[in-house]
Structures are given as C-alpha cells and as structure tokens.
Amino acid sequence: MTTDTPRDREHATLGVPQLTALVMGSMIGAGIFSLPQNMAATAAPGPLLVGWGITGVGMLALAGAFMLLARMAPTPDGGVYGYARDGFGRFLGFLSAWGYWVSAWLGNLSYLVVIFSTLGLFFPVFGEGTTPLSIAGASVLLWLYTWLLLRGVREAASLNTLVTIAKIVPLIAFIVLAALAWKVDVFTADFWGEASGMSLTEQVRGMMLVTVWVFLGIEGATVYSQRAKSRQAIARATVVGFLAVLALLVAVNVLSAGVLSQAETAELQNPSMAGVLEHSVGRWGAWLVGIGMIVSVMGALLAWMLLCAEILSVAARDEAMPRALATLNAQDTPRWAVLLTTVVLQLALFYAMWAGAGYYDIILMAGSMILVPYLLSAGYALMLTARGEQGARLRHVLVSAVAVIYAIWLIYAGGIGYLLATSLFYSLGIPVYLWARKEAGAPLLRGAEWFVAAALLAIGVVAVLGLRAGWLLEI
C-alpha cells in the first residue's frame, strides 16, 4: 500500500478527532429525522435489529472499499465516475455518474419535500410537503439556492456551525427523552412482526433501501484525506465516525420502537422523530426536532446541489457528458450543470405534487439509483485488490468482496419494481452519452457496451409499459 511522506503531510493539520467530526457531519442528514416511520413501514423490532446487523457489516465494507480506492486507484480523481470508468470502461463510467446524479437530485427533492412536510406539522396548509403551497415554497427555495450557487456561494463557517448544532442538539435530546419514555412491553409486542404476515426475510429486505439512504454520502468520507495528518488517521476516523453514526441510527430506531407501536409509528408524518418526541414530552418536542431538521436540511441542500452539478461537470470534462456541462462561470461554478439540475428538480417537484409522491417514496428511489455506482466502485476495488495492486493483502480482497456482495444484496432487496424503475432512469441517460461521444468525434459505443445499452433500453421499455398499465407501482 502507498505510504505517507513528509511532503504529503507537510500542510496537513487534521487528526482523528477533527476528521471523525467531519465524517459524521457528512453522513448525518435528513434521513435520521424520518427514520422511525421509514423503518416501521416495513419491519418490526426483531427484523430491524437483524437488518441493522447486516447494514453495519455491509456499509463498513463499502466504506473500506472506498478507502482502498482512494489509496490504490491509479487515477482517483472523479470519484464514482472515475472508478467505474477505469474499471469497466467509459460507458459504465457514464452510467455510474448518471445514476449518482439522479440519486443526488432525488435526494434534494426529498429535502425540499421534507422541509415543507415539517412545516405541515405546525401549519396544516403545507400538508405532507406536496400541496400546491408547499411546491410553490419549495420552488422559490430551489431557485434561491440556484442563484446562490451561480454567484459562487458554496459554504459559510457560520452556516456550518449552525447546521452542526441543529443536527446534534435534537438527536441528543431525542435519545435522552425517548429513553426515559421507552417501555419494554411496547418494544417486545409482536417483536418479529408476525401480525404483518411478512416473513423475517421480507421485512429485512423492506428496510434495506432506507438504510442506504441514511448512509448516503459514506463515499465522501475519504475526501478529507489530503488534509489528514496520516493515512492511518483518515482510516481510523472513517471507522469511528461510521460506528458513531450507526450507533445514533440504531438508538433512534430502537428507542422509537419502545415508545410507540409499529402501527402507530408507521402512520406518523415525516419527520417522524418529531411525532415520537411529541408523544413522549409534548408539543415542544415536535418543535425542537422540526426546527433542528429544517435548519440542518437547508444547510445540506446547498452542498448536495453543488454535488449534483460537480458529478456532471467531472464527466463532461472527460467527454462522457455534453461539453457544455463542464463550462464554468466567473465564480468557478459549472453554470449549465447547475441550471440543468435545477430545471429537472423543478419538473420533479411538479410531478411530486401531481402524483402525490411523498418523502418515503422519493428516498427509496434515491437509494435504488445509488446502488449501481456503489456496485461498480466496489467491483473496481475487488479488481485492484485481487491483482495485488500496491501490496494489497487478503484482508483487502475480503473487504472488497463483502462490499460487492452487499451491493448485490441491496439490488435484490430493492425488488423487481425498483430494478425496473432504475433501468428506466438509466436508459434515459443513453442518448445523453451518445450526444457527448458524437461531440467528441469518438466511437459511440464499443463491444459489449452495445449489449449493455440495448439491455437497458429493452428493460426501460418494459418499465414504461408497466407504468402505463399500473402494475409496476404494485410490485
């Protein structure tokens, strides 16, 4: 493996404590605030604990795979796009970037919906975030953020501090107060979910896409490596930060299951942590969670909107996306990538209002779309470690193999309905890739890429037929 040199770390100042805080901050978003309802919708306490055990091992392996890639990949620039491109060719690299972009803007859509769903807890006119007034408010917020991005406003220390406080205070308050209200008889009632008529495997499968959503961003843990005092520091911080976030998620989930029954929790409006805390301590608990979540999400939204634009820009610079998406304005922001993302998000907001798609539906789709980038990245890590790159050892091969198996399991857990839906999204990206290759004067597709493209288009047609007939939504 690559070793550190004094030159590499000459200006590095971040140790394990600082890096751990950065890792945790990048992983904790809106997901944890809506976790109780999202999980109760499919699983009882027993299957939840089994599912969290699988998630802990799988996500830790996935984080390990990204750490290995950051240290071993010959060209680590480009993240999930670069890994997929170097491992499996430019077309699959494009599909990885496209899937990551779709997942990211779907995540932003969920942020916009959950902000106004939270307001709906206190002002019924906003409903569950998809009423006409909510969509109007979300649209104004969306274009305000677009204006900020185009002006080069990416982050502010005061905002980051406020966001951090907004995340931590409600979580600590919830854990302490829910623990005081926790009842063992509520937690153990129908512990294995037999009343639901679903098997243990079905319940575990049902919760898995939610676990992907709450850990979305785990691949970003290595972006701080150049500022770390040592490579060992970033490795330790990644593990410690991941385990700390996992502990918070499990605590919120388990404590909620002992305050309200599964059926009661499943009916809560998101962010459901507010409903659980309101049941425990009264209305002020809902206000605490609601305000904290809104501030937290509004801070995260800015970063994730920029991420949407950056993944398009990275691929465009490599001629896998139309070259206009790589154009930077005077503020060094990819102008057309930002505007494309904003327009797509605006249309998605109108669709959410028309179809009544809520937060839960959106995050499951976002979680499904990220699975291909995760699988391709883990596959590339397995490829490098199996070849013994840079002194890779057996434990590195095993970590990468577990990450691949976990990614495949997640695709299976998502079910045929989400597999068809993601294929539809991926097939829509094929003309974009062909456009970019024509612009570059390069061959459109090569060899097996033609088969992959044809298969995606065929499955996409099946998905369209399923949507028109209505059966796709029932799977």
Give the pLDDT confidence score for residue 381 in this predicted structure: 94
73-98: pLDDT as tens digits: 887 667 888 899 999 999 999 999 99
3 in a domain, yes or no? no
Give the pLDDT confidence score for residue 160 in this predicted structure: 54
Distances in Å between the Cα of 321 and the Cα atoms of 158, 202, 346, 376, 415 are 35, 39, 21, 19, 30
CATH code of the domain containing 127: 1.20.1740.10
Compute the chain's Rg from CA coordinates: 22
Query: Tell me, what DSSP letter sits at residue 346?
Result: H
Give the pLDDT confidence score for residue 161 in this predicted structure: 56
287 in a domain, yes or no? yes
Residue range of the domain that includes 225: 22-474
Give the pLDDT confidence score for residue 226 in this predicted structure: 53
6 in a domain, yes or no? no
Give the pLDDT confidence score for residue 183 in this predicted structure: 93
309-368: pLDDT as tens digits: 888 998 999 899 999 998 888 878 889 999 999 999 999 999 888 877 777 788 888 888
389 in a domain, yes or no? yes
DSSP bridge partners of 334: 328
283 in a domain, yes or no? yes
1 in a domain, yes or no? no
Residue with tokens 């680590």: 76
Count of domains observed in the chain: 1
* Tokens of residue 217, six digits: 């961003």
The segments of the chain whose pLDDT lies below 70 read 1-14, 22, 26, 76-77, 153-164, 220-228, 231, 234, 473-475
Taking the C-alpha atoms of residue 70 and residue 222, their distance in angstroms, rounded to an integer, is 7
Give the pLDDT confidence score for residue 7 in this predicted structure: 40
Distances in Å between the Cα of 143 and the Cα atoms of 118, 138, 399 are 20, 9, 42
2 in a domain, yes or no? no
| 94: nearest Cα among 106, 82, 104, 103 | 82
Note the pTM of the prediction, 2 decimals.
Answer: 0.88
262 in a domain, yes or no? yes
Query: Tell me, what DSSP letter sits at residue 356?
Result: T
Give the pLDDT confidence score for residue 362 in this predicted structure: 85
